[in-house]
Every structure is written in structure tokens, then in C-alpha cells.
Amino acid sequence: MWNKRGIRMPESAEVVSHHGDEFQIDVSMPLDEDGYLGRQCPECSMSFRMNGEDYKALLDKLELWCVYCGQHQAHSEFMTDQQRERMLRAAGDLGTQIVSQALGDVFRGFSRGSSHPSSVSLSISYKEKPYYPRPLPGIDEERLARVRTCAGCQVRYAVFDEHRFCPVCGLLPAVLVAFDALQAETARLNALNAVPNEAKAVLREQGVYTRSWVDTIENVVGVVEGLASSVFKAAVTDAADRLRGKGNVFQRLDDMADLFVATGYGDVRGILGPESWQRLVETWAARHVFTHNDGIVDEKYLRKVPTSSAQVGRRLVISEASCRRAVEDSTSLCTALAELTVGY
């Protein structure tokens, strides 16, 4: 379109103001086919999306959080590479025409004058031509992988990796982070099952399946530990005093349960029942063996799991089924921990 100075801008770009040598242009950014706008963190360079309608409703001076690393800056800093290329193309079109107009002004005011008898006269000519900007580059991004709605601000956003922050509210609640992590473990187990049979044989021979199952056992313990710590510290005013000298109490199941009971809260062992709790004890014992002893069974493991057929000095064998049970039991425990302090 044309503005007052005769500048022609491509579709979706417009010169909205001009003061002296300063121009302001607006360049619209198309949404993806699901109606989401791409955002890219200026710190970690990872991308996420925000619902276009929700984004427009936000304040102009809004600061965003990177959903992955937590970088907190003005929303204009979260431009994606494709959006930046689109913006620079529009700015380049404007700059080309400004330079062209400036040259035209120079040559319109140029007078040849007379040449000195002992000098050689050279001439230069310049002809202005209409400028026709090329269409702006489009935005071509991968399909949405996972859409979330923040329980706090209700903003809809999409992520492509493990995340810890809402783009508007910031740090997510610990319980949401925990359940996301447990769902990710199930998704990984499902993905390994979906591998073609030929590839499965290679992965199994190289120990990938066993290593992944071990990782699941270690990860679920870490998830419960993180949530229990967050819930306790949020609910107990003198948490620091009660935790002093207890070491990593949230990594020890019965000690963690006793800590909540001693503070006046319910006993998660009773909430889950003896069978579920014993399976969790076995999972925690297996995690200790793999983390600290490369999976070699010791006396401590057998004291925790007296019904085990494993023997001291041999390597513990785990299975996909045991990992899935560990995820289910840990999900039940996280649910109990999240509800433990409700109403107190």
C-alpha cells in the first residue's frame, strides 16, 4: 500500500508513523493453522506457541516467560527466526525506497555548471523507477505437539518439550510439573513399544530398553521427592526447622511419610494401602541399587524387599511391566501428597 511519502509496502506491512528520519512500521504475523503464534526464547532459542486470541488480549507492555528455561523479558524479544526474517524483509523494502527517494532528491537539485578549460567534464545520470516489493516470506512451523491451558491465567499455549513455566504467570505449580513428568515416563515407554521390530532387536541388544527402564525407576523417585518437598515447605511454616539435620528425607519413603504425620497431616501409607506402599518401597530400593551400586543387589535391598528372589552380588533385573506399575503407584502417591494438606 502507499503512504503519504509514496512508499509502497508489501501486503501485511504498513508504515504507521513518520517523524523526520524515524519510521514506524507494523508487520502482521500470520498464525499457524491452529490459530497459534510462534514465540522463541532469546536465551535458550527453544520455541513455543501462544493462542492468537489470548495473545492479542494481553497488555502491549506484557513481559513473557520462556516456558522451558524461565527467561523473563518483553514479549517483543520472543520473535521467532521466521518472524524476524519477515520483519527484516519489510524493513529492507522501506530502506530501499528511502534511499531511492533520497538519491532522487539529490539529482533533482544537481546542476551541471561550467567546466574549466583545463579539466575534463564527466556526467552521471540517475533515473527513478517504481519500486514493487516482493511478498513477505510466510511462516511455516511444525504442527502443535501439546496444548496446555494455564490454570491460573487461562492462557492457552503449546509446548514441544518438558517445561516448567507458563508464558504469562511464570513458574508452574509443583503438582502440575510432577504429573507432567510422570506422563512423560509413560509416553517414553509407549514410544519404545512403537519402534519397528527390526530396530527393537538392535536396541535391546545394546541395552537401550533396560537403560530406559532404569531411568524410569530413577525418575519417578525424583518426581515424588520434588513434589513432597514442595508440598511440605508450602504447608508447614516452620519447615526449615523441622528439616534441619534430616538430610534428604523426601527421598526416603517411610521417613517422608513419618515427617508429614509428625507435622499433623495424614499418613499417605494408609491412604494408598499396604500393597501399593510395598510396591513403592521396592521401587525405591531398586532405584538405590541402580543409582549407587550399578544394579548389584546388596543386603540393604534384601532387607527392604524380603520376598525378592534376588541374591547378593547379582544384578537386579527389572521389566517394562514393573516400570509401568512404578509410574502408576507414583502417580497415586503424588495425588495423595497433593491432597494431603487440603483443608488444613
Helices (H), the chain: 52-56, 81-108, 174-193, 197-205, 208-235, 239-243, 253-262, 268-272, 274-293, 299-304, 320-340
Instruction: Please provide the average confidence, as pLDDT, over all residues in the chain.
Output: 86
Q: What per-residue confidence (pLDDT) applies to 104?
A: 63
Q: pTM for the whole thing?
A: 0.77
Who wins on pLDDT, 94 or 157? 157
Residue 328 reports pLDDT greater than 90: yes
Residue 39 reports pLDDT greater than 80: yes
Q: What per-residue confidence (pLDDT) applies to 141?
A: 79
Residue 287 reports pLDDT greater than 90: yes
Considering 96-100, 117-121, 139-143, 152-156, the range whose residues carry the highest mean pLDDT is 152-156
Assign 3 a pLDDT band (cuts: 50, 70, 90).
very low
What are 100's three cell numbers? 531511492
| Nearest by Cα to 280 from 207, 235, 333 | 333
Residue 108 reports pLDDT greater than 90: no
Identify the H or E element spanning 14: strand 13-19
Q: What per-residue confidence (pLDDT) applies to 344?
A: 42
Assign 199 a pLDDT band (cuts: 50, 70, 90).
very high
Which range is least confidently modeled, 139-143, 179-183, 320-324, 335-339?
Answer: 139-143
Residue 121 reports pLDDT greater than 60: no
Portion of the chain with pLDDT greater than 90, in percent: 67
Residue 2 reports pLDDT greater than 50: no
Q: What is the mean pLDDT of residues 198-215?
A: 94
Q: Could you tell me whether strands 36-40 and 146-149 are parallel, antiparallel, or unpaired per DSSP bridges?
A: unpaired
Residue 127 reports pLDDT greater than 70: no
CA 141 to chain centre: 16
- Residue 255 is which amino acid? D
Assign 44 a pLDDT band (cuts: 50, 70, 90).
very high
Residue 307 reports pLDDT greater than 50: yes
Who wins on pLDDT, 327 or 117? 327
DSSP string, 135-186: PPP----PPP-EEEE-TTT--EEEESS---EETTTEEPPHHHHHHHHHHHHH
What gap in Å lies between CA 249 and CA 243, rounded to an integer?
Answer: 8
Residue 317 reports pLDDT greater than 50: yes
Residue 130 reports pLDDT greater than 80: no
Q: What would the pLDDT profile of 230-263 be if each residue is shown by its tens digit?
A: 999 999 999 999 999 999 999 999 999 999 999 9
Assign 29 a pLDDT band (cuts: 50, 70, 90).
confident
Q: What per-residue confidence (pLDDT) applies to 85?
A: 84
Whether the Cβ atoms of residue 281 and residue 305 lie closer than 8 Å to each other: yes
Which range is least confidently modeled, 43-47, 130-134, 170-174, 321-325?
Answer: 130-134
Q: What would the pLDDT profile of 268-281 be if each residue is shown by its tens digit?
A: 999 999 999 999 99
Q: Phi, psi at residue 302, to the nearest 5°?
A: -70, -30
Q: What is the mean pLDDT of residues 151-163?
A: 93
Who wins on pLDDT, 171 or 132? 171
